[in-house]
Amino acid sequence: MKKQHSLFELFLTFLKIGALTFGGGYAMMPIMRKEVVDKKQWA
């Protein structure tokens, strides 16, 4: 059950990043790092 919750949280995180950024992968990288590493501490 916990794994499904984690996958859903991962999906929502990247959905938010994809919906709010423009310019491709290079524009998304700093936002991904801030969201995933700094806020959620997944790394």
Q: pLDDT band at residue 5, thresholds of 50, 70 and 90? A: low
Helix intervals (H) in the chain:
2-20, 25-32
Q: Which domain does 8 fall in, by range?
A: 2-39
Q: Is residue 38 scored above 60 in pLDDT?
A: yes
How do the residues of the chain divide into helix, strand and coil, expressed in percent and rounded to 5?
80, 0, 20
Alpha-carbon distance 36 to 43, whole Å? 8
- Model pLDDT for residues 6-35, shown as the tens digit of each residue: 889 889 999 999 998 888 888 899 999 998
pTM to 2 decimals?
Answer: 0.70
Task: Report how many domains make up the chain.
Answer: 1
How far from chain centre, in Å, is Cα 6? Answer: 12
